[in-house]
Amino acid sequence: MKCSKCSEKAVFLVPKFCKKHFIDYFEKKVFETIKKFSLVNPKEKIVVACSGGKDSTAVLYLLKKFHKKVVALAIDEGIFGYRNKTLIDLKKFCSKNNIELRIYSFEKEFGKTLDEMLKQKQHPCSVCGIFRRYLMNKYARGFGKIATGHNMDDESQAVLMNLMKGNVDLLWHSVPMTKKVGNFVQRIKPLYFCSEKEVAAYALLKGFEVSFNECLYIKDSFRNQVRDALNNYELENSGTKLNILKKHLLMLEKIKFETSFFQYCSVCDEPAKEDICKACQLIKSFK
């Protein structure tokens, strides 16, 4: 099968492109998202939340190419057999591309790895999410924004999950750039309109040395159920994920942005919805 733009062999089917034209198409789409939603300001330094996986590595590479001023920030949750391996890939990538990498770990910050915390019967993804967001926000302070590798699949899943759970406030998080609220560092998602398949193809074609394995804890998660259902639906109804995001953005334009009330944690001074933030409540429960 031939590329729709030249006589080379197609390496990607929808759209039908050869290696060169697929890379051009993908990079153009990401750079257009950055420009259309004004994701970066020329003066600021961006911190990229990295895991060593394909999505965040692609964002790191493309933001370095587009904006130059980037630093990689990784959180080592302490998931044996998974995160230790992806961090090796990330260290190699950053050293090869001359990018500063900062790594913070659950063990050093909270006294236990995620694996050890789970021996206390906590749900892996909720514990992981609370502590990871906490550290990201804490260590990204002082930078212009945090860029994440969330792609179209992740974001359409998040919209459905929040609707299903009635988390209306969280719908405002599933956007290319979050609003500025208190001392939360704004998040940007340059891969918002790129499907998971497109990101995987880009990472492979660019020869990024990244692992395509997933964290073993994802199997138990609500996200995994929504992901499977949405993937099945997309198979029969192509374009569903993109439609969810387009309609979601249109809907947000028509409603007023209201932040739920938040204050600062009386223990650590980070943003909190209650007197003590979720991270400090969890740390207390481990004692």
The site for ligand SF4 (CB under 6 A) is made up of 77, 124-125, 128-129, 215, 217-218, 221
We find the least distance from the C-beta atom of residue 188 to ligand SF4, in angstroms, to be: 20
Q: Looking at beta carbons only, is 74 or 215 nearer to ligand SF4?
A: 215
Q: Are the beta carbons of 64 and 27 closer than 8 angstroms? A: no
Dig out the tokens for 41 from the structure: 């300001």
Q: Looking at beta carbons only, is 226 or 242 nearer to ligand SF4?
A: 226
Q: Looking at beta carbons only, is 124 or 144 nearer to ligand SF4?
A: 124
- DSSP-based three-state secondary structure for 49: strand
**In the chain, where does DSSP find H-type helix?**
19-36, 54-67, 83-96, 106-110, 114-118, 124-140, 152-165, 196-205, 222-236, 240-254, 278-286
Q: Looking at beta carbons only, is 26 or 217 nearer to ligand SF4?
A: 217
Q: Are the beta carbons of 193 and 242 closer than 8 angstroms? A: yes
We find the least distance from the C-beta atom of residue 211 to ligand SF4, in angstroms, to be: 13
We find the least distance from the C-beta atom of residue 82 to ligand SF4, in angstroms, to be: 7
We find the least distance from the C-beta atom of residue 48 to ligand SF4, in angstroms, to be: 17
Q: Are the beta carbons of 52 and 210 closer than 8 angstroms? A: yes
We find the least distance from the C-beta atom of residue 124 to ligand SF4, in angstroms, to be: 4
Q: Are the beta carbons of 147 and 190 closer than 8 angstroms? A: yes
Q: Looking at beta carbons only, is 82 or 93 nearer to ligand SF4?
A: 82
